[in-house]
Amino acid sequence: MRVDRRRALALFGAGSLATGGSAAAQGAGQVRFDHGVASGDPTADRVILWTRITPADPSSGAISYAWSLNPIDRRAGGAKSGRGTTSAAKDFTVKVDVGGLDPGRAYTFTFTSNGATSPMGRTRTLPEGQVEDAVMAIASCSLWQAGYFNAYQAIADLPRVDVVLHLGDYIYEYGPEGYGAESGKKLGRRVQPGHEIFTLGDYRNRHAQTKTDPQLQAAHARAPWIVVWDDHETANDSWVGGAENHQKDEGSWNRRKAAAIKAYYEWMPIREPDGGGFSINRTFEFGDLASLFMLETRLTARDLQLDYATDLNGADGKPDVVRFRKRLADPDRRMMGPSQSDWLRRGLANSVKSGRTWQVLGNQVVMARIGVPDIRAAMAADKFAAATASLGPDGLKRIDRMAGISKLGLPYGLDMWDGYPADRQRLYDLINRAKANAVVVSGDSHAFWANELYDAPEGGKRVAVEFGTTGITSPGAGDALPDVPVGQIMADANREVVYSDQAAKGFVLLTLGRTNGKAEMMAVSTIQEKTFTTSVLKTFTFTPSPDGVSGLKEA
């Protein structure tokens, strides 16, 4: 994202492995399952099963495999099995859409090939009818070079998790000297291929490397995943027509985008849209309890982000705030587009009409109004000096530039929904019109957030609560300023921010019941060592009502 990730971190002072798989082969020789198994996109009667088969000879032709799925409860009936083939055309990945399953039932599954057997995975279908509660782990932003995937292991170790929602930045496109390079060198977690990724082979190999991680494999094997891409699955700050990290000398954006998404569909346990393309917005029903709407806000409709560096100043070189605000508020600027908005309108209305308690929006970027904080003004002079002593003159200049934007009353993240306020208001209108009890879950920012969303900057109606999940490993603003209480400053400076932690790594554990909801900010103690502990930083509760979701209460 433009301000809230690379550029915001700069303001704060931050500076082919395609092997795996074991499948029966037609003359392919030995095979392996190096990338584990996964499941995803569960419905009441279907689920996607995934694995990747790697032959010893990468030039092998078609490889045959078998799969089996068995109910955990051992009741008679319900087992499924089948056979198929894969090949280099699919990068030897396997994706099976198993139908005819029982609602709300848990299963184990495995793949076999050429005498080899994959690890065992666990999955479950979504329930029908009356449902007392649902438990979702919310994850985002797993930068390979930044550290160990301990938070994925913490998800795998949960006593209960019905689904894992991954809100994007599952991989990053940067090369070994890019984002997170210093940690990567120290830990020996250097990215492959050893350059920024552009081609189909590049994206496949980066996905392949990511899925060799045993902690990620454990989380995939634990429960079905519901996923959506954000920007780094293609390139930083992507939009319909390009990306901040795609330059003219790097070839066709459409070709790069198509390659990235082909690899994503191959390597992720997602049900692809009819006819292909980028429209992966879709709905999941948890019985009579909740509807989950997964939004796509990158590649189907998003307009080019504004940028303070190029768009704020007028012809005289001075900030032209009036002009900038007019461009920011342009009603034609879109995040989702009319067709997705109409889909969401119908879905929200149907969910409320059917009596479901909750309407959850799985969303890539933070939705709350968040202004740029003035860190210097928020701290006593002596504490500020001590906390920023290691930054040097350049770091202090960046903080002062942030203070200048803060004084203009402009938003923190132009790549967030704050950069598209008219489209956000259209979304809020849909929530209000449906009288939904809306819970927004967001990724991308590398920070924990507990926010209350209002349909006007001052006054107005609370339309939703929002929980932003921090990164699995990706650095946040608090990592750049470890001695500055960035999260508290954010909360103090912004009406909609109830709580923020800008340094912790982990995930959000969301539990929805019939009369209340609970969000726990789950943090791992370290990502620099493999031994870690998991703790709950904060817990917030909220309740549904005919007038919409309540405000947040700290538990």
**Does residue 379 form part of some domain?**
no
Instruction: Determine the pLDDT at residue 246.
Output: 98
Give Cα 544 to chain centroid, integer Å: 25
Instruction: Determine the pLDDT at residue 25.
Output: 32
**Does residue 386 form part of some domain?**
no
**Does residue 382 form part of some domain?**
no
- Partners of 136 in the beta sheet? 163, 510
Burial 257-271 (b: 16+ CB within 10 A, else e): bbbbbbbbbbbbbbb
Instruction: Determine the pLDDT at residue 520.
Output: 98
CA distance 481 to 56: 47
Instruction: Determine the pLDDT at residue 152.
Output: 98
The maximal CA–CA distance of the chain, rounded, in angstroms, is 77
Can you give 328-370 as a three-state secondary structure string? HCCCCCCCCCHHHHHHHHHHHHHHHHCCCCEEEEEECCCCCCC
Structure tokens at 497: 């921010």
Find out whether 138 and 510 touch, Cβ atoms under 8 Å: yes
- Partners of 28 in the beta sheet? none
Find out whether 8 and 39 touch, Cβ atoms under 8 Å: no
**Does residue 401 form part of some domain?**
no
Residue 242 Cα distances to 238, 261, 303, 305, angstroms? 6, 14, 10, 10
Average pLDDT for the chain: 93
Q: To which residue do tokens 């950069």 refer? A: 419
Rounded mean pLDDT of 381-398? 86
Instruction: Determine the pLDDT at residue 14.
Output: 33
**Does residue 377 form part of some domain?**
no
* pLDDT band for position 24 (cuts 50, 70, 90): very low
Element (H, E) at 430: helix 421-434
Rounded mean pLDDT of 208-222? 98
Length of the chain as a residue count: 555
Burial 187-208 (b: 16+ CB within 10 A, else e): bebebbbeebbbebebbbbbbb
Give the Cβ contact number of residue 99 at 10 Å: 10
Q: Is 363 exposed, middle or buried (0-12, 13-18, 19+ CB in 10 A)?
A: buried
Q: To which residue do tokens 């795609």 refer? A: 246
pLDDT tens-place string over residues 222-262: 999 999 999 999 999 999 999 999 999 999 999 999 999 99
Residue 182 Cα distances to 14, 187, 475, angstroms? 12, 9, 12
Instruction: Determine the pLDDT at residue 29.
Output: 58
Residue 406: CB partners within 8 Å, gap ≥ 6? Answer: 371, 372, 373, 374, 377, 493
CATH of the domain at 316: 3.60.21.70
**Does residue 81 form part of some domain?**
yes
Find out whether 140 and 230 touch, Cβ atoms under 8 Å: yes
Find out whether 29 and 55 touch, Cβ atoms under 8 Å: yes
**Does residue 160 form part of some domain?**
yes
- Confidence check: pLDDT of 1 > 70: no
User: For 449, phi and psi rounded to 5 degrees?
Assistant: -140, 140
pLDDT tens-place string over residues 136-174: 999 999 999 999 999 999 999 999 999 999 999 999 999
Instruction: Determine the pLDDT at residue 12.
Output: 36
CA distance 180 to 187: 11
Give Cα 485 to chain centroid, integer Å: 25
Residue 102 Cα distances to 42, 288, 312, angstroms? 11, 16, 56
CA distance 31 to 251: 35
CA distance 122 to 532: 24
Can you give 448-462 as a three-state secondary structure string? EEEEEEECCCCCCCE
- The total number of structural domains in the chain stands at 1
Instruction: Determine the pLDDT at residue 76.
Output: 87
Percent helix, strand and coil across the chain, each to the nearest 5: 30, 25, 45
The parent domain of residue 276 ranges over 2-372+409-554
* CB half-sphere exposure, 120, CA atoms < 13 A: 7
Rounded mean pLDDT of 26-55? 90
Residue 505 Cα distances to 149, 151, 172, 361, 465, angstroms? 10, 7, 17, 22, 21
* CB half-sphere exposure, 267, CA atoms < 13 A: 30
Find out whether 71 and 105 touch, Cβ atoms under 8 Å: yes
Q: Which of 469, 535, 549 is nearest to 502 (CA)?
A: 469
**Does residue 433 form part of some domain?**
yes
pTM higher than the cut 0.85? yes
Rounded mean pLDDT of 370-390? 90
